[in-house]
Chain A
């Protein structure tokens, strides 16, 4: 796999992973009934 292909995939992957993580975090923090969000 060439460096250029890795760069192309990594650039998109940054957004994909950040999107998945933020979705999980929002669900965890704002849908959980526990008032204290420290975890």
Chain B
């Protein structure tokens, strides 16, 4: 057994042990669905980042940076991470205040509508099962690559590892393992960055070499590589592309179920706000380190093919074996944490929102509670079995599934989620048709693109067209539908501030996070100026002078 195989098996065993420990504390439905609504900031922060960053961050996006587009990934991150703050303040804390078990159950309570809960539940099953499939394939691909296991064995290993602990421990286990995985992949990517920069001749040498890199000109210029060889012809095209996709993914971060459902587990509204602040800081730092590191790998090996394998190449060829194995485990951890979150949410939706009663009132008796707990576990196992069946039978299409599944919720839920809290005019009918329209437009446009009938321009991205269509549908349908008294009363109740949230000591602690953000922002701006912008400018000017000298 080689070091990589051993590392993977040990890390999987650790996650199972943590899941087992957490599972023993699951007594009620609330423990299983929302971790007893008692999670502190560190666990919500860990699960927010871990469930968002899947293998795609270390494989797909790192590959994109290796090809010369790290600055675009960085610009996108600027926009999409703001979704944490906007989402927490304008939706997340009200979702927590609702004390429902799932996000679709919140929509039901807000609009007094079973059909909205059913539709939201179905969209979770469709979108997150597809995402789960993509992540399962991604992880199996890495395991196949580094261990030599065959693909079927790798798929089974991955599936069994995330299914077992999620099935037994539910959200209690998921947030604990997510946080451990977040610490693991964050720590190892920072260590990896040091090794990459060292192998490239040190920080300033690396910046100078990349600034004048002939094979991929503009690799770390603010717009990345542009020109006839790549998708973006001009720097403004690149900027517009990154900004539009950044905003679109920002909506995903703000309202998607695999992010906002984490807030249902928070101990208080202050935990919601603090964890969103922490997630913003962590994501900005992680993306900066990961993508600049991936671009720097060009100076060590410019011929990695496919580019998606950049981090795997680093693990196998640049790092000492033990650290390489930990890096692979870190990348897998990013995938496993997302997979466990997706599996748990799909299971909850099937058992609670689609097949179950869908209300929290029915779960008061102990026997009934246990029965619902069993139903949720059976639903999760059934979903897991379907996913593994599909993973073994279907042809692999990781990129498309990821691009389809994540943004689906921005189009379908984005407008309705925010209006459910902030609009008095939205009716049940408006909310339902808004969701259906956003979902339909997004899926329809993606299907046309996948079939090769049309190539959508970036300004008509299916995510954004879906959002706009959803808003128009809400406005039109809300004109015809009635405002129910139950829905209006529920909305008013959402805006009543719970007295326990006004503790001055707790408010002071939350304000510390805003000060940390300001301080970190100043530090990052200063560090990027001194260690990136200025040396880059000097290197380019020097290269231009040399070129002029030659010409004269």
Contacts and interface: CB of A to CB of B under 8 A. Distances in A.
- A and B: real partners? yes
Interface stretch (B106-114, B452-460, B505-513): B505-513
Interface string A10-28: 1111111111111101110
B526 interface: yes
Given A2-B537, A4-B222, A22-B89, A13 B521 contact: yes
A10 B270 CA distance: 27
Contacts, number: 125
Main secondary structure of the interface of B (DSSP, over half): helix
B273 to A, nearest CB: 7
Given A18-B517, A35-B496, A8 B280 contact: no
Given A4-B537, A15-B280, A26 B510 contact: yes
20 contacts: A3-B221, A4-B221, A5-B529, A7-B75, A8-B529, A8-B532, A11-B524, A12-B524, A12-B528, A15-B517, A15-B520, A19-B518, A20-B514, A22-B85, A22-B513, A26-B511, A30-B497, A30-B507, A30-B510, A35-B496
B238 to A, nearest CB: 11
Given A4-B537, A23-B515, A35-B496, A18 B273 contact: no
Interface in B254-303: 270, 273, 277, 280-281, 284, 288
Contacts of A38: 422, 495
A19 B524 contact: no
Interface of B: 71, 74-75, 78, 81-82, 85, 89, 220-223, 235, 270, 273, 277, 280-281, 284, 288, 422, 495-497, 501-502, 504, 507, 510-511, 513-518, 520-526, 528-529, 532-534, 536-537
Contacts of B496: 35-36
Contact of A9 (B223, B281, B525): B525
B514 A30 contact: no
Nearest to A30: B507
Interface residues of A, number: 32
B234 to A, nearest CB: 13
Contacts of A2: 222, 533, 537
Nearest to A21: B85
A26 B495 CA distance: 15
Nearest to B535: A4
A15 B281 contact: yes
A19 B273 CA distance: 11
A4 B435 CA distance: 40
Given A15-B520, A26-B510, A8 B78 contact: no
Contacts of B507: 26-27, 30-31
Contacts of B537: 2, 4-5
Nearest to B424: A38
B86 to A, nearest CB: 9
Contacts of A21: 85
Contacts of A12: 521-526, 528
A18 B85 contact: yes
A13 B75 CA distance: 12
